[in-house]
Structure 1
C-alpha cells in the first residue's frame, strides 16, 4: 500500500516491510501480536531510537508486507525474521521485545538462534499454556471475547463479499480507534479494512498449536536477561465490565493471566517481573514509557552504564 515510510528486505521467498530508526547497539527488534502492525509502534519506536537502533516490521500478510507461504507456524515466522535480519545489515546480537503472541515468536527465536539474542522483553506475552483460558468456566467471556469466539466471528466475516465486509468492519474500527493519534488511526483502519489482513491473522492462529509444540520441543532457553511486563489487573477488569463481562468472570481471567505471566520468569534465572500500573493488554500504547524503560535498563546493564 505504501502509506508509511520504510523499505523491503528479503526474508527468503518474500520481501518484508521493515522500518529502521536510530543508531547504536544492541539493536532492538519488535515483534507484534497476532494481527499486530508496525505502525502501532511508530511513536514508541521513535522515542526508543534516541537510545539505539530500533527495527519494526510487518509479518507476512500484514500491513505493507505481502502474503506469506503456509503454514504460518512459529518456526516459519521465526526463520523469515532471521533471514530478514541477516539481510538488514544491522548486526547481532539483538534485544527482542515481543507483545502478546509476539512473545512466543521471540522465545522461539532465542531457542533456534541463541547467538543472535542479547536479551528479551516480553510485553504482556501469552504462553504455551494459552489453551487453559478456553477451559475456564466463564460462559459470557467464552461466547463473546475469547480467542475461539473472536476467530469464529472473523471467519464468518471473511465469507462476506468485499463491499459488505468493508461496510461492517470500518465502523467497528473507527469506534475501536476513537481518540488515538489521527495519522496512526488512519493507517490502522486502512490496513485492517482489508480481508487479507484477517486471513493472515487466522493463518497464524490456526498454526498456534504447532507453535506451542515447537516451543515445548526445544527444552532449553539460554539464560538471557529477561524482563516480563504484565498488564494492570484492575484496568483489565474495568475494561471487561465495560464490554459486558461479569466482574467475577473477569477476575478468573486476570488471575490466570497473572499466573501465566509469573510462569514466564522460569524461562531464565536472570528474569524480572514488572506489573505495569494503568496499562491494558496493549502496554505499548497505554504505557509506552514502561516498555522503553525496560529496554533502556537492559541496554544500560549490557553497556556497563
Structure 2
C-alpha cells in the first residue's frame, strides 16, 4: 500500500525565527514517538515536488515529511545567503521548531549530500537523526572528481532540453498531475530566482565543507545506518550528447572531450559513492542502474528500498 500523495498535502508554515518554511505531512500521525519518520531534502534548484513518486510509494503506515527550502513554493525567502551551511542551519531550525517528535530518517538528493554533512558537522540537532538515505548525493570532492559543470562538455549539450535529452521526460514514474505540478513549479519566476541564488553558492559550498576536514571525524553519523544509492551518470550525459550532436553542437575536439567525460563518468561516480560509506559503521551501497542523476523521478522504488533497509537496521517495520 502507498502513502498519501504530495499534491493533496497542505503546508504547515513553521516559523524558524527569521521566516517561515512550508512543511508537508504525508501518512498517518505516529501512534508513539519511538518509530522513525522520513524527511526528504531536495537537491539544488528544486522544491519538494520532485519527491512525489517516492512519497506515494512509501508504506501506507509510514509518516513522512517534505519541505520547501527558503524561497521555494510556499516557503518565505530567507534573509541569509543560500549557502549549504545556511541551508543546513535552517534545516536544523525546522527540525527543532516543527511538530515532529519522532527520530528522523533524512533522505537527500544531489546537493543535499553536502547539506546533510553540514547538518551533521555544525548543527546541534544531529542527535534527532536515526538514519540517512543518500540519493546520488554530492560528496565534498565531487566537483574535483566528476566535474559536472565542465564547460566544454556542456557546450555540446547547449540548447537541449534537460528532461527530454536525459530521457526523464519519457521515463519518470510520476503521475501526469505530479509531473505537471513539478515542471510548472520549476518554471515559476520564484523558483528560478531562488535556484539562481543557490547555484551562485554551489561550487564554494564544496570548498567550505572540505575545509572542515570531516574525513578526520568519520564516521560522522556514528553507527546510524546510511544507505547510499548511486546512478549511471553516463545515461544523462549520453542522452544530452546525442541530442546536442543532432543539433550540430560542438567541434570535433569538443565532442571527443564530451565522449571521454561520458565514458569515465560512472567509474568516477562509483568512487564518490563509496566515500559516502565512511559516514557510518553501518552503511550499504546499491545502484539504480536504470537511472541517471534523478533517481527519485525514474526509480523511486529504489529510494523506498533505502528507507525500508534503514527501518530494518533500526529494528522497525512500517509494513
- TM-score w.r.t. structure 2 length? 0.77
Structure 1: unaligned runs, 5 residues or longer: 154-170
8 Å Cα contact 2:53/2:297 also seen in 1: no
CA, structure 1 residues 136+9, in 2 after alignment: closer, same or farther (shift >3 Å)? closer
Number of equivalent positions: 281
Which moved further from structure 2: 96-105 or 130-139?
130-139
Distance (whole Å) between structure 1 residues aligned to residue 285 and residue 87 of structure 2: 27
Q: Which of 85, 95, 112 is 1:102 aligned to?
A: 112
Are 1:53 and 2:63 matched, yes or no? yes
Distance (whole Å) between structure 2 residues aligned to residue 173 and residue 280 of structure 1: 12
Are 1:79 and 2:89 matched, yes or no? yes
Distance (whole Å) between structure 2 residues aligned to residue 103 and residue 252 of structure 1: 22
Cα deviation for residue 48 of structure 1 reads: 1.6
- TM-score w.r.t. structure 1 length? 0.80
Cα deviation for residue 264 of structure 1 reads: 1.5
8 Å Cα contact 2:232/2:289 also seen in 1: yes
Are 1:35 and 2:45 matched, yes or no? yes
Cα deviation for residue 254 of structure 1 reads: 2.8
Give runs of ≥4 in structure 1 deviating > 4 Å.
133-139, 171-180
Q: Deviations over 1:47-85 (max 9, x none)?
A: 225242111011011222222223111221112112222
* Corresponding residue number in structure 2 for 1:230: 230
8 Å Cα contact 1:11/1:83 also seen in 2: yes
* Corresponding residue number in structure 1 for 2:134: 122
Cα RMSD for the two superposed structures = 3.1
Distance (whole Å) between structure 2 residues aligned to residue 74 and residue 87 of structure 1: 20
8 Å Cα contact 1:225/1:298 also seen in 2: yes
Cα deviation for residue 298 of structure 1 reads: 0.8
* Corresponding residue number in structure 2 for 1:267: 279
CA, structure 1 residues 68+271, in 2 after alignment: closer, same or farther (shift >3 Å)? same
Are 1:254 and 2:266 matched, yes or no? yes
1:123-272 to structure 2, matched below 5 A, reads 123-132=135-144, 140-144=152-156, 178-179=169-170, 181-216=175-210, 217=212, 219=214, 220=217, 221-223=220-222, 224-232=224-232, 235-236=235-236, 238-244=238-244, 246-272=258-284
